[in-house]
Chain A
């Protein structure tokens, strides 16, 4: 066999085998990149589910606080009734404790509406009212609403939507578009190389796929980090909610105990009830979030 023919056949066979080998490694690279994407995506989806559960926990805690505050408002109404019967002049209450007459009226009005809302618990619309009662200044908003039902149906639902929007911030918004788009882009790129026959082109495509996967994985890393930062913020909201719930519960209990033992005839008893009631009212007016569902800015305090 002539030498040039042997050389030609050798080069041809060698490059054929090298081409086959490189094609296999190129396809393997693409599959590995795809597997990396899918693995990261499933981790990201799990992180997103955890973030949503976290959000639900905060919402439930706000509802619990709302219920506690509404019950405390009812006790506040009883205190207003007690103070109305007491043998203390309105002027004295105002001078000694800075409680004007209209405050007593406000407590009584708020108490009636709180009973209305509490009476509707179990109906779906009331969950919005409970969330709102937990998040905002309570007595004032109860007093300004025409009925308790209005709070439950309108104010409550709107407030709940705003709160939920804030509580959910940083999850879908942070990673959403890019991550979702990533799947489609990745699909196209993976389908393309399948029809290529030249190993170098397959490797070039593999490099592109690896870059797109890198981009998507990076976006998910960033979005997950943002979710965790938001979760830390939600933890802080939860701590604040627990603090308010515990304070409200204890002050309400103190006021209830006082109302049981106090006599409207005894001036000192009356002032004690008035003091605890006034401070409970102040605690009920402490807001957790503003109207847009964000933590209230310092100037609004």
Chain B
């Protein structure tokens, strides 16, 4: 590290003895250097901010796409299950009321088949499949 006192002494001697425009020139050169330095920093920081934003946008878009898949998948799955369950419960009530054992069997089998099939577990498998690069969604 250079001794900081020396430049001060040199500056003081040179500037005091120099004509007025030259006295202004030296601090002006410092200001220009600071300005150039700032321009470099500003540019680097601007680039960095743009990089952070772009990275964020990609990550948020991926998460939102995943969320949309979750919402749509479960909305559809549970809707169709609800419809089927309602139908089976109507059959069950009817089967019990009319003592119709065949209807009772069909209804109970239908209800338990639906309930035992856990859509949350299905989704885990679906998500694992979706993570594979070769995954294709058939609609």
Bitwise interface map of A from 269 to 285 toward B, beta carbon under 8 Å scored 1, else 0? 00110011001001100
Q: Given the known A-B contacts A4-B19, A11-B24, A272-B96, are A283 and B111 also in contact in the complex, defined by CB atoms under 8 Å?
A: yes
The reply to whether the CB of B13 lies closer than 8 angstroms to some CB of chain A is no
Q: Is the CB of A222 within 8 A of B70?
A: no
C-alpha gap A221/B52 in the complex (Å): 12
The interface bits of chain A over 197-212 (1 if a CB of B lies within 8 angstroms of the residue's CB, else 0) are 0101101100110110
A-B contact count (CB 8 A): 160
B21 touches A225 (CB 8 A): no
Q: Mark B107-138, 1 if CB is under 8 A from A, else 0.
A: 01001100111111111110000000000000
- Is B31 an interface position by the 8 A CB rule? yes
Given A228-B64, A254-B92, A298-B125, 6 more pairs with CB closer than 8 A = A8-B24, A203-B38, A211-B45, A221-B56, A268-B99, A282-B112
- B12 on interface, CB distance cutoff 8 Å: no
A26 and chain B: residue at smallest CB distance: B38
0 or 1 for each of A260-301: is its CB under 8 Å from B? (1 = yes):
000000001001100110010011001111000001111011
> In the bound complex, do residue B74 and residue A225 qualify as a contact, i.e. CB atoms below 8 Å apart?
no
Between-chain CB contacts (< 8 Å), 19 pairs: A4-B21, A12-B24, A15-B28, A15-B31, A204-B42, A211-B48, A218-B52, A229-B64, A229-B70, A235-B74, A239-B74, A243-B115, A254-B93, A272-B101, A282-B116, A283-B111, A286-B118, A296-B120, A297-B125
We find that the number of chain B residues with CB closer than 8 angstroms to chain A is 57
Pick from B23, B70, B85, B122: contact of A233, CB below 8 A: B70
CB 8 Å contact bits of B47-62 with A (1 = contact, 0 = none): 0110011011001100
Q: Which residue of B lies closest to A170 (CB)?
A: B63
Binding site for A on B (CB under 8 A): 19-21, 23-24, 27-28, 31, 34-35, 37-38, 41-42, 45-46, 48-49, 52-53, 55-56, 59-60, 63-64, 66-67, 70-71, 74, 78, 81-82, 85, 89, 92-93, 96, 99, 101, 104-105, 108, 111-112, 115-125
Q: In the complex, how many angstroms separate the beta carbon of A2 from the nearest chain B beta carbon?
A: 8
Cα–Cα distance between A275 and B96 once the two chains are bound (Å) = 11
Residue of A nearest to B20 (CB): A8
Cα distance A47–B20 when bound, in Å?
A: 62
Residues on A with beta carbons closer than 8 Å to the beta carbon of B28: 11, 15
- Is A296 within 8 A of B20, CB to CB? no
CB atoms of A8 and B23 under 8 A apart: yes
* Cross-chain contact of A244 among B24, B104, B115 (Cβ < 8 A): B115
Q: Is A251 an interface residue (CB 8 A)?
A: yes
